[in-house]
Amino acid sequence: MTQVKKKIAIVTGASRGIGAAIAGRLASDGFTVVINYSGDAAPAEELAREIEETGGTALTAKADVSDAQAVARMFDAAETAFGGVDVLVNNAGILKTLPLAETSDEEYDRHFGINVKGTFNTLREAAKRLNDGGRIVNFSSTTLALNMPGYAVYNGTKAAVEAFTHVFAKELRGRNITVNAVAPGPIATDLFLNGKSDELVAQFAKMPPLERLGQPDDIASVVSFLVGPDAGWINGQIVRANGGVA
């Protein structure tokens, strides 16, 4: 019996939070997953072990997505281990809410470096290397539609990601590669919870008409759909998965 070759998915920022849920979900969907992270290796290694234990295949790849050479090396590692890349999920991102007037040059550069340049770096690499028929999913945020104070710089980065998504979908004409973005509403992860009081978290949880915070799996299932066989005609779109917040 001939075995169908497994597709290879790189998930950036996959050691924790939404990215970890995406990596786990894609592994159970049958993808070989590359678990990218930039800091602590332990949670990425633990996730890889869990995936392998349940019959999946995973590789961890340390790379700061804001570093173009590190991103190129991550693609090299995926190609060496598995022979190519079919799916790129650009999930890595950071958020620190601050009024624009109080945002330092360093904080501005860090946000644009990881959220925008990081996405640019992986997209540019994917343009050269992603197999025809592949899928790309970028990460925006529903905060872009809410215009809440404190989110100017973060929303600026996500506006850029949405712009990349629309244009890049067209630049890949002829390759049968789709490029979409997911714009989650509040999801219970470190990025969202850190620095918020219980009262503020409860307020956010009341915002969607579904009256709860989203969970990482709520977003992993959307990504699973976008990279799966049923989403082949969805291209250049932003999917606002937010329980109806906006």
Instruction: Return d(Cα 100, Cα 102) in angstroms, integer.
Output: 5
Instruction: Return d(Cα 87, Cα 223) in angstroms, integer.
Output: 11
Quick one: DSSP state of residue 123? H
Among 1-9, 48-56, 61-69, 81-89, the segment contacting ligand NAP (CB under 6 A): 61-69
60 part of the interface to ligand NAP, by CB under 6 A: no
CB 92 → ligand NAP: shortest distance, Å?
4
- Scanning residues 195 to 224, which ones bind ligand NAP (CB under 6 A)? none
CB 104 → ligand NAP: shortest distance, Å?
18
Among 24, 31, 38, 224, binds ligand NAP (CB under 6 A): 38
Among 8, 32, 36, 208, binds ligand NAP (CB under 6 A): 36
Instruction: Return d(Cα 40, Cα 45) in angstroms, integer.
Output: 9
Closest CA to 35 of 11, 71, 7: 11
- Scanning residues 88 to 147, which ones bind ligand NAP (CB under 6 A)? 91-95, 114, 118, 139, 141
Q: Taking the alpha carbons of 219, 157, 61, 227 in that order, is the dihedral positive or negative?
A: positive
CB 173 → ligand NAP: shortest distance, Å?
26
Write down the catalytic residue from 37, 108, 151, 154: 154
Among 32, 178, 189, 224, binds ligand NAP (CB under 6 A): 189
| 154 is annotated as an active-site residue | yes
Output the CA–CA distances (angstroms, integers) from residue 177 to 14, 42, 87, 90, 158, in the order listed: 22, 33, 9, 15, 22
Sequence-distant (≥ 6) Cβ neighbours of residue 222 within 8 angstroms: 182, 239, 241
CB 214 → ligand NAP: shortest distance, Å?
7
13 part of the interface to ligand NAP, by CB under 6 A: yes
Block residue for tokens 């850190």 = 194
Sequence-distant (≥ 6) Cβ neighbours of residue 66 within 8 angstroms: 113, 114, 117, 118, 121
Q: Which residues bind ligand NAP (CB under 6 A)?
A: 12-19, 36-40, 64-66, 91-95, 114, 118, 139, 141, 184, 186-187, 189-192
Any idea which residues carry the catalytic annotation?
154
